[in-house]
Chains A and B, each alone.
Chain A
Amino acid sequence: MPEPLLSIRDLVVEFSTEDGVVQAVDGISYDLYPGETLGIVGESGSGKSVSTMSLLGLIPQPPGKVVRGEALFKGTDLLKISKKELRHIRGNEIALIFQDPMTSLNPVLKIGAQIDEAIRTHHPDEKDDRIKERSIELLRTVGVPNPDRRYEQYPHEFSGGMRQRAMIAMSIANSPSVLIADEPTTALDVTIQAQILQVLKKAQDETQAATILITHDLGLIAELADRVVVMYAGKVVELGDVHTIFESPRHPYTVGLMESLPKLNADDDWLRPIPGQPPSLISRPPGCPFHPRCFLSQGRLRCREEEPTLRPIGGSAHLTACHFAEELEGHTGPLVEPVGAGV
């Protein structure tokens, strides 16, 4: 195993709200290796975005707060360095691609000016015409046609797909070593999504950046990710390489996620959603946070009382946080009775 580029250990992020303290991220740990694509999946509110945003100091503080943990990036703990040092890393060594390209671009600045800005922020002494050339080159790289004309245009003259390309161009402007893509295709048309995935792959190839792909779209994970982190209620519940996760999931939540996907090759009348709602992060259920919705738990005492920890299963690279993960062995087909059937 090579040295991890980014290593997160026991990260806890809390938000204080009027109803109480929300533990959005509850002691997660994972590594990101050079050149790989790490997918983070989970429902809304599972803490997948917060876990990465907090590393870069991008969660609103207050109400947000990193309670403990460490995030080693090239030997420095991102959670301990000064704001100024962190600013030097943001957009330079670790870059972000935002979800909605319609709102992530400044409407009153030309696209070119915004890419220039991304470069100039970290290269203040660079000459203007060289920055401009670089920006146009970036637009060309991400597949924006007529880049030198597009450079002079405003965001409202760009379509959604073109804007996301421009966003990707901005994010790779300084050749980051880590690229964080937070739901990069969620706001786009399905037809455009595939194109953007290609652009994203190309951007990865060109920068050789390790990528964290945050999404709830398992299709995207299957397409792009090398390894997968499954998050539920602020915790990592399963971690493994993409083939293992898809072929032999060893956490009932992961199984449920896959069951709830429509399949073209199966003759199902009903999708199988995971019953119930994600738990409130203020009053977490005791024991395993997933047990009220779990088909495997079935009221077993251990699930309600003892919180499972991540443990290796079937090889050291595959981790699960389920007491009874072994019972899932051999299961690849549908495990849950359709809840919606007949209702």
Chain B
Amino acid sequence: MTDQPRVHDPNASGLMLGPDVNRDVPAGGGQMVDRAVPADSSAFTHEYGLEIEARSQWGYARRRFMRHRLAVASVVVLTGIFAAGIFANYIAPYSYKEIPYITIAGTSVIDTSQILAHPSRQHLFGTDSAGRDTFSRTLYGIRTSARVGIFVGLLSTLIGTIIGGLAGFYGGWSDNLLMRMTDLFLTLPLLAVLLTASKFLDSSTPTTLAILIACLIWTSIARIVRGVFLSLREKEYVEAARAAGAGDLRIMLRHMIPNSVGPIVVAATLTIGTAIALEATLSFLGFGIRPPTPALGALLDEGQEAGLDKWWLVTYPGLLIVLIILCINFIGDGLRDALDPTQRRVRA
């Protein structure tokens, strides 16, 4: 028999197919055929003159999202709010700790006329009991809240995806172990743990507070990812990838995570909202961000100490908290509808 099983060379020459393919190849060389590829693939037209507009998954998702008016409006509003927070140092008329001084008879004293001033042109949201501009402080508060929210969103998504992913992919005892751990975290009284932990850890900076929150609220993402992975594990393309020799990590990173991006993104978005609410709660209770760094929750706390007749101190930061979380939830809803691949109907 002449056609013996060819010895497989794991190097480049093993890539070659048959005589037809490697005819241009110098003998013994592992060079691939250098074939000119048309640079402009968009010049392609179907041979029968039929042009089919190809849409990617993301194209469909974007179209569906754009139809969700509330979500689109929320994106606009939220972008505006977050941009105002991020660029607070350019927008804010005052610094967040600027106390108005006037000079009387050669000595500098606090301008008492500026303390607890009503909203005016000079101070859009009024001033607080130290005479600081509430509008400026609110802008900086948004910055703090956004930073905490986004950081928690990223970190808890990372933790949740890893734990949920491993549990769903391997199943069996590792699933049991990881999910019971998740259950344990879910049973913890969130606020009590946060309050205790923030007393022992120095949680006065946004970063430490964010890490603390993220370590407690990754559980919902872990459960979602586990569920998605459990169903993806049975997919034929996962089996096909396994049959092609792909290892566990490759299958998870290349096949399962990209196919669970939808639910993960939705869950991550909603987590940002939860995190901002939690941060506000903690700061309100005096356990979160420490003064003088303004946070929306801390502003509320200062406001209620000043008395309810100083309505501007609680109204504006409070409204902003509500608005931010509402927007995030609407965006989450919009994403959920847009990223659900089973929904492909086209509304006019």
Interface residues of A, Cβ cutoff 8 Å to B: 2, 5, 34-35, 56, 58, 74, 87-93, 95-96, 98, 100, 103-109, 117-119, 121-123, 126, 130, 133-134, 136-138, 141, 145-146, 148-149, 152-154, 156-157, 167, 170-175, 177, 205-208, 210
Contact = CB atoms under 8 A, between A and B. Distances in A.
A87 B247 contact: yes
B18 A205 contact: yes
A175 B16 contact: yes
Nearest to A130: B32
Given A95-B243, A207-B18, A208-B3, 13 more contacts: A5-B5, A34-B1, A56-B243, A87-B245, A96-B244, A98-B240, A104-B236, A106-B237, A109-B254, A121-B244, A122-B245, A146-B44, A170-B240
Contacts of A137: 17, 21, 32-33, 35
Contact of B10 (A91, A122, A146, A149): A122
Given A5-B5, A148-B41, A177-B5, A58 B35 contact: no
A71 to B, nearest CB: 15
A108 B258 contact: yes
Interface string B26-57: 00000011110110010010010000101011
Given A175-B8, A208-B3, A109 B54 contact: no
B108 interface: no
A35 B41 contact: no
Contacts of B309: none
Interface in B262-293: none
Nearest to A83: B247
B121 interface: no
Nearest to B42: A149
B259 A108 contact: yes
B21 A174 contact: no
Contacts of B11: 123
30 contacts: A2-B1, A34-B4, A34-B5, A87-B245, A90-B245, A92-B8, A93-B8, A95-B243, A106-B241, A107-B237, A107-B341, A117-B241, A117-B244, A117-B254, A119-B15, A122-B245, A123-B11, A123-B14, A133-B33, A137-B17, A137-B33, A148-B37, A149-B44, A170-B240, A173-B15, A174-B15, A175-B14, A177-B5, A177-B8, A206-B20
Contacts of A177: 5-6, 8
A208 B6 CA distance: 8
Nearest to A171: B244
Nearest to B240: A104
Nearest to A4: B5
A332 B172 CA distance: 53
Contacts of A173: 15
A58 B242 CA distance: 8
B250 interface: yes
